[in-house]
Amino acid sequence: MTPVPPWDAFTSAEAAVRAMVADPRWQELPMPDRAHVLAARVLVTRDGDRWLFGAHARWHLYDPAAGRWHLAPPPRGSRARQVRHAAADLPPEVVPTGPDFHAEPGSTMAFIGPDVSAGLTERLRVLVRACGRKSELDYPLTAFDDIFAGDVPATVAAVWGTIMWCSYAPAFDGNERLLTVFGEYLRRPLPGDEWVRWLPAPPLLDLVTLVTERARAGRPRAALRLAAVMADAAQILMSDTRFRPRALALLTMVEPVLRRPSLDGLDGVPPGGSPGGAPGGLHSGLHSRPHEGPPDARAVRRAWLERAPARLARALLPETDAEAHFAHTVYDLAEALAFTPDPTRAAAAFLADLSDSRRRLPSRLDHRLRAAYEELERAGLTETSVAETTAPEGFPAGPRAGGVSTVPAPVLEVAPPDRTSAASVLGAAYAMGLAWGRLTGAKVPERGLAGQSALVAKLIHERDDHHDDGPCHI
């Protein structure tokens, strides 16, 4: 007989809200009515914390001091009772719209541990090989020139940019075969060390720039070819959940212009220049001045983002709302640390790695997480990734001065129970670091944040991605 899992107040409340939002009538309700129905399903735990399952199909925790709701995973298994919260106190951003509950499922795992599948890698290898035969004179680099040599065609950069933009957290094993596909094209070694490549996440503008530059140069066929390469790469990436949500978002943005080049002015015809020009309406505003020619990259980027459906909005938060994106990555990190005795304290330890000289971080955290972080702050244990200390034994992960590594030991030891859990923590922590950088301008160290580097040190002896011909370091 299959054992019945114990009843949990949070699981029950979540199921009830999901059922309500799934009802077609939900989207027809006025916002005050939605808030009223939702406010009746707030949970209160013994410590007085108030929890609401709301927008983006995620839990929100009420901060009584600030009067704000913060994204935060709940203490599942804890006793809680349902109470009625004042509906007027629910801000619109915590109330589900409907499409936000249908976000494409993804994965927070980095590419450290579980490999990208051989089939996916081979399909991308074939695509890159075909792209590499293009001429850099026809497809010059106008973005990613800090990564690729000057004689590399933009078609290769388009594949690379698609991979990095679509990945939840672009941190890769040092000998991940997906990276070796690009080895011959690189200008210099990738950031990181022989164990992990901590790679930057490019903005969507970099991808758009590759396309629009060719259109503005009077090469509409080349512009469309670059857009098609991005769509081809995104289609291949869809099979891996670490890429899937953003790959799907990119496809929804790019595919319409492949069917109708005039949509973004990529056909080389100025607006009004012929019947084939872009019609009036939403995207006719791409052209800031009549007869100027193809639109600039920022205008096309806006058009791409506008045509993405609402259910993919969370995948596009890095482009549309840096503050909300950071909050979601903190939520992901706390969820990935659910195996620890105290996920809040563990999440605070990873947050302590961030550079925050202007002290902008605490106000963005819920009161429990803020208290844990400020405890570390009082102990002088925050901003650990900009300090100097000795690296773990046998793991010289950082530049050395006088035998001392600039990558410090972590504030808190984290021991994931398996490789999947470790990859999820590494991915969520790195995505959180990148999101903080996007929000504040803080730089992520080339050799990773302190807690991540320490966790990698524990995994290097358990690698399951060795190849017969030895590691390939790029």
pLDDT of residue 275 exceeding 50, the answer is no
Mean pLDDT across 343-357:
93
pLDDT, one tens digit per residue, over 97-147 is 999 999 988 999 999 878 899 999 999 999 999 999 999 999 999 999 999
Mean pLDDT of the chain: 85
Q: What is the CA radius of gyration of the chain?
A: 24
- What pLDDT shows up at residue 291? 36
Average confidence (pLDDT) over 159-183: 93
Average pLDDT over residues 183-189: 92
375-401: string of b/e by CB count within 10 Å (b at 16+)?
A: ebbeeebbbbbbeeeebbeebebbeee
Question: C-alpha 43: how far from its chain's center?
Answer: 29
Q: What percent of the chain has pLDDT over 90?
A: 66
| Per-residue pLDDT tens over the stretch 300-337 | 999 999 999 999 999 999 999 999 999 999 999 999 99
Give pLDDT, residue 264.
Answer: 86
Segment 462-468 shows an average pLDDT of 49
* Distance separating alpha carbons of residues 279 and 273, to the nearest angstrom: 11
Q: What is the pLDDT of residue 104?
A: 87
The pLDDT confidence band at residue 402, using thresholds 50, 70 and 90, is very low
Q: Residue 2's pLDDT is what? A: 56
Q: Where are the domains of the chain?
A: 9-102, 118-284+294-318, 321-462
Q: pLDDT band at 463, cuts 50/70/90?
A: low
Q: How far apart are the first and last CA of the chain?
A: 53
Contacts of 368 by beta carbon, 8 Å cutoff, 6+ apart: 49, 61, 72, 344
**Mean pLDDT within 84-107:** 89
Question: 251 and 231 in contact (C-beta within 8 Å)?
Answer: yes
Model confidence at 200: pLDDT above 50: yes
Q: Are the beta carbons of 348 and 372 closer than 8 angstroms?
A: yes
**Could you tell me which residue, 392 or 211, shows the higher pLDDT?**
211
pLDDT over 70, % of the chain: 84
The pLDDT assigned to 286 comes to 44
What is the structure's pLDDT at 391? 41
d(CA 409, CA 418): 21
pLDDT single digits (tens) 355-388: 988 899 999 999 999 999 999 999 988 887 655 4
Better-scored residue on pLDDT, 89 or 284: 89
Is the confidence at residue 5, as pLDDT, over 70?
no
The residue among 386, 413, 417 whose CA lies nearest residue 399 is 386
Residue pointed to by tokens 């690698």: 463
Whether the pLDDT of residue 255 is over 50: the answer is yes
Q: What's residue 82's pLDDT?
A: 87
- The count of C-alpha atoms lying within 13 angstroms of the C-alpha of 386, restricted to the half-sphere facing its C-beta, is 12
CB neighbourhood size of 451 (10 A): 27
Dist CA 363 CA 110 (whole Å): 28
Q: Is the pLDDT of residue 466 over 80?
A: no
pLDDT band at 274 (very low <50, low <70, confident <90, very high): very low
Average pLDDT over residues 41-57: 95
CB 294 within 8 A of CB 393: no
Span 155-170, average pLDDT: 97
pLDDT-derived band at 445 (thresholds 50, 70, 90) equals confident
Token readout for 342 is: 């105290």
DSSP-assigned letter for residue 379: T
